[in-house]
A and B are shown apart, each in its own frame.
Chain A
Amino acid sequence: MERAPDPTTRAPADGGGLTRRRTRRSVGERAVLGFLGAAAVLSVLTTTGIVLTLVVESIPFFEHVAPKEFLTGTGWSPLAGGGSQAFGVLPLVWSTLYLTLVALAVAIPLGLGVGILLAEYASARVRRTVKPVVEVLAGVPTIVFGYFALTFLTPLLQEHLGIELQIFNGLSAGIVLGILVLPTIASVSEDAMSAVPQSLREGAFGLGAAKRQVVVRVVFPAALSGIVAALVLGASRAIGETVVILVAAGNTPSLTTDLGTAHQNMAAFIANVARSDVSAGSVAYDTIFAVGLTLFAITLALNLVAIRFVRRYRQVYE
Chain B
Amino acid sequence: MSVAEASITRSVVGRAARGERTRDLLFRVALLLCMLVAVLFLAALVVDVAIDGAPILGPDFVTSYPSRIAPESSGVRSALLGTVYLMGLCALFIVPVGVAAAVYLEEYARPERWYNRLVEVNIQNLASVPSVVYGILGLAFIVRGPIDVWGLGQGQPTLLAGALTLGLLVLPVVIIVAREAIRAVPSSIREASLALGATEWQTTWRQVLPSATAGIATGVILALSRAIGETAPLILVGAAAFQRFDPAIDGQFSALPIQIFNNVTEPEAIFRDLAAATILVLLLLLLVMNSIAVLLRNRYETKW
The 0/1 profile, CB within 8 Å of B marked 1, for residues 270-297 of chain A is 1100110000100000001100100110
Tell me, yes or no, whether A166 is within 8 Å of chain B by CB.
Answer: no
Return the chain A residue nearest B43 by Cβ. A133
A42 in contact with B20 (CB, 8 Å): no
Within 8 A of B (CB), among A178-237: 179, 182, 186, 208, 210-213, 215-216, 233, 236-237
Q: Which of the candidate stretches A46-54, A65-73, A79-87, A256-264 sits at the interface with the other chain?
A: A46-54
The 0/1 profile, CB within 8 Å of A marked 1, for residues 244-281 of chain B is 00000000000001001100110000001001100100
B201 in contact with A28 (CB, 8 Å): yes
Residues of chain B contacted by A110 (CB below 8 angstroms): 34, 37-38
Return the chain A residue nearest B279 by Cβ. A144
B131 in contact with A275 (CB, 8 Å): no
Residues of chain B contacted by A296 (CB below 8 angstroms): 129-130, 133
Q: Which of the candidate stretches B54-62, B63-71, B136-144 sits at the interface with the other chain?
A: B136-144
Number of A interface residues in the complex (CB < 8 A): 94
B34 in contact with A117 (CB, 8 Å): yes
Tell me, yes or no, whether B208 is within 8 Å of chain A by CB.
Answer: no
A300 in contact with B199 (CB, 8 Å): no
The interface residues of chain A, by DSSP majority, are classed as helix
A114 in contact with B38 (CB, 8 Å): yes
Complex CA gap A150/B30 in Å reads 29
A267 in contact with B104 (CB, 8 Å): no
Complex CA gap A147/B293 in Å reads 27
If A1-B206, A267-B130 touch, whether A39 touches B34 (CB-CB below 8 Å) is: no
Tell me, yes or no, whether A33 is within 8 Å of chain B by CB.
Answer: yes
Tell me, yes or no, whether A101 is within 8 Å of chain B by CB.
Answer: no
Complex CA gap A295/B136 in Å reads 12
Complex CA gap A130/B37 in Å reads 11
Complex CA gap A242/B282 in Å reads 19
Complex CA gap A110/B38 in Å reads 8
B202 in contact with A271 (CB, 8 Å): no
Tell me, yes or no, whether B135 is within 8 Å of chain A by CB.
Answer: yes
Tell me, yes or no, whether A134 is within 8 Å of chain B by CB.
Answer: yes
Contact among A25, A215, A239 for B130, CB-based, below 8 A: A239
If A39-B97, A295-B132 touch, whether A210 touches B21 (CB-CB below 8 Å) is: yes
A179 in contact with B38 (CB, 8 Å): yes
Tell me, yes or no, whether A2 is within 8 Å of chain B by CB.
Answer: yes
CB distance from B111 to the nearest CB of A (A): 13
Return the chain B residue nearest A110 by Cβ. B34
Interface residues of A (CB under 8 A from B): 1-2, 6, 8-9, 11-12, 25-26, 28-29, 32-33, 35-44, 46-47, 49-50, 53-54, 57, 109-114, 116-117, 121, 130, 133-134, 136-137, 139-148, 150-152, 179, 182, 186, 208, 210-213, 215-216, 233, 236-237, 239-243, 246-247, 267, 270-271, 274-275, 280, 288-289, 292, 295-296, 299-300, 302-304, 307
Pairs across A and B, CB under 8 Å, 20 listed? A32-B201, A36-B100, A39-B101, A44-B122, A50-B129, A53-B145, A117-B31, A130-B35, A137-B38, A139-B290, A144-B45, A144-B279, A179-B41, A182-B38, A213-B20, A240-B128, A240-B133, A247-B264, A271-B232, A307-B124
- 8 tightest A-B CB contacts, nearest first: A240-B130, A141-B229, A113-B34, A39-B100, A242-B232, A8-B197, A36-B104, A39-B101
